Amino acid sequence: MSSLKFMLLGMVAGLVALAVIGGSFLAGREFASEDSAATPTDATADDNDGFDVLEDIFEVLEDDFVRPESVDGELLKQAAINGMLEALGDPNTVYLNADALARGAGDSSGLYEGIGASVAQDPNSGEIVIVRPFTGSPAETAGVREGDVLVAVNGESVAGWSVEQATSVVRGPRDTAVAITVRHLDGTEEELTITRGEIELLRVFSCPGTQLEDGADSSEDLGLDCPLAEPVGGGSVDDIAYLRIEQFVGTAASDVARILEEVAASGYQGLIVDVRSNPGGLVSATVEITDMLLNDGQIFREVTREDEEQIFNASEGDLSGGLPVVVLVNGNSASGAEVFAAALQQNDRGYVIGETTFGKGTVNILRPLPDGGGLYVSVAEWFTPDGSRIDTVGIQPDMVVTPTDDDIDNLRDVQLQAAIDYLRGL
Domains, the chain: 202-363+379-424 (3.90.226.10)
Which segment of 249-253, 281-285, 293-297 scores lowest on mean pLDDT? 249-253
pTM exceeds 0.85, yes or no: no
Residue 31 CB contacts under 8 Å (≥ 6 apart), including other chains: 17, 280, 281, 282, 283, 286, 335, 336, 339, 360, 363, 364
Q: Return phi, psi of residue 183, to 5°.
A: -105, 120
For 65-74, what is the mean pLDDT?
92
Q: 367 to each of 29, 282, 317, 378, 379, how far by Cα in Å?
A: 12, 17, 37, 11, 11
For 49-57, what is the mean pLDDT?
85
DSSP 354-408: ES------EEEEEEE-TTS-EEEEEEEEEE-TTS-B-TTT----SEE----HHHH
Q: What is residue 105's predicted lDDT score, i.e. its pLDDT? A: 52
pLDDT: which is higher, 8 or 261? 261
Confidence grade of residue 38 (pLDDT, cut at 50, 70, 90) = very low
Q: What is residue 109's predicted lDDT score, i.e. its pLDDT? A: 53
Q: What is the C-alpha separation between 30 and 23, in angstroms, rounded?
A: 13
Continuous H helices in 7-109: 52-64, 73-86, 98-102
pLDDT: which is higher, 341 or 78? 341
